Amino acid sequence: MDVAIPNISFDEEDSQIEISGHSLRNDPGPLDPSVLYEQDEHISSAVWEGLERGALRCHEHTSKLEEWKLTGKQLELVEKAGFKYFRKIEAFSLDNQLISALVERWRKETNTFHLPGGEMTITLDEVALNLGLAIDGEPVVAVELEDSSAIPVCEKLLGKKPTSNDRRGGFLKLSWLKDSFSHCPDIAPLEQVEQCTRAYLLYLVGSTIFSTTSGNTVPVIFLPLFEDFEKAGKYAWGAAALAFLYRALGNATSKSQSTISGCLTLLQCWSYWHLNIGRPKLNQGQTLDAFPLALRWKQKLSGLRSKCDVVQYRKALDSLQPCDVEWLPYHDMDEIVPEDIKDTLILGRSRTTLICLDKAEKHLPDRCLRQFGFNQPIPQEVPQWKGTDGDADQSKSIASSCEDWSKHRDQIVEGEDRVDDSEYLLWYSNITRKFVGRHTSLESMFRQTVAGMTKMLELAKTLSREDMFPVNQKAVENIKNILSESLKNPFSNSKGVLNEEVSNNENCQIGYPPCIFAGHFPQ
Residue with the larger pLDDT of the pair 237 and 416: 237
Domain boundary among 399, 431, 463: 431
State yes or no: pLDDT of 5 exceeds 80. Answer: no
Residues 182 and 279 in one domain: yes
> Mind spelling out the 3-state secondary structure of 315-349?
HHHHCCCHHHECCCCCCCCHHHCCHHHHCCHHHHH
Instruction: Flag whether 358 is in a domain.
Output: yes
Residues 253 and 333 in one domain: yes
Residues 375 and 465 in one domain: no
Q: Are 443 and 511 in contact (CB under 8 A)?
A: yes
Residue with the larger pLDDT of the pair 174 and 447: 174
- Quote the pTM value: 0.81
Mean pLDDT of 306-314: 86
State yes or no: pLDDT of 519 exceeds 90. Answer: no
pLDDT tens sequence across 49-86: 989 999 999 988 888 899 999 999 999 999 999 999 99
For residue 256, what pLDDT is reported?
92
Please tell me the number of Cα atoms within 13 Å of 48 on its side-chain side: 22
Residue 446 CA, chain-centre distance (Å), reads 30
Confidence band of 505 (pLDDT split at 50, 70, 90): very low
Residue with the larger pLDDT of the pair 480 and 360: 360
pLDDT tens sequence across 425-435: 999 999 999 99
pLDDT tens sequence across 105-142: 999 999 999 999 999 999 999 999 999 999 999 999 98
Please state, in angstroms and as integers, the Cα–Cα distance from residue 441 to each residue in 20, 26, 42, 45, 51, following that order. Answer: 22, 14, 19, 14, 11
Q: Are 363 and 353 in contact (CB under 8 A)?
A: yes
Confidence band of 306 (pLDDT split at 50, 70, 90): low
Residues 333 and 392 in one domain: yes
Instruction: Flag whether 32 is in a domain.
Output: no
Residues 139 and 283 in one domain: yes
* DSSP secondary structure letter of residue 436: S
Residues 318 and 350 in one domain: yes
State yes or no: pLDDT of 24 exceeds 90. Answer: no
For residue 285, what pLDDT is reported?
59
Instruction: Flag whether 108 is in a domain.
Output: yes
State yes or no: pLDDT of 443 exceeds 70. Answer: no
**Going by DSSP bridges, is the β-strand pair 16-19/8-11 parallel, antiparallel, or unpaired?**
antiparallel
Residues 77 and 137 in one domain: yes
Query: Residue 245: left if φ>0, alpha if ψ -120 to 50, beta else—which one?
Result: alpha
Domain boundary among 370, 398, 431: 431
Query: What is the tally of structural domains in the chain?
Result: 2
Domain boundary among 374, 398, 431: 431
Instruction: Flag whether 448 is in a domain.
Output: yes
Residues 507 and 395 in one domain: no
Instruction: Flag whether 44 is in a domain.
Output: no
pLDDT tens sequence across 178-213: 999 999 999 999 999 999 999 999 999 999 999 998
Residues 60 and 185 in one domain: yes
Residues 234 and 368 in one domain: yes
Instruction: Flag whether 501 is in a domain.
Output: yes
Residues 233 and 267 in one domain: yes
Q: Which domain holds residue 198?
A: 52-431
Mean pLDDT of 236-257: 97
Distance CA 142, CA 148 (A): 17
Element (H, E) at 168: strand 167-168
Residues 78 and 209 in one domain: yes
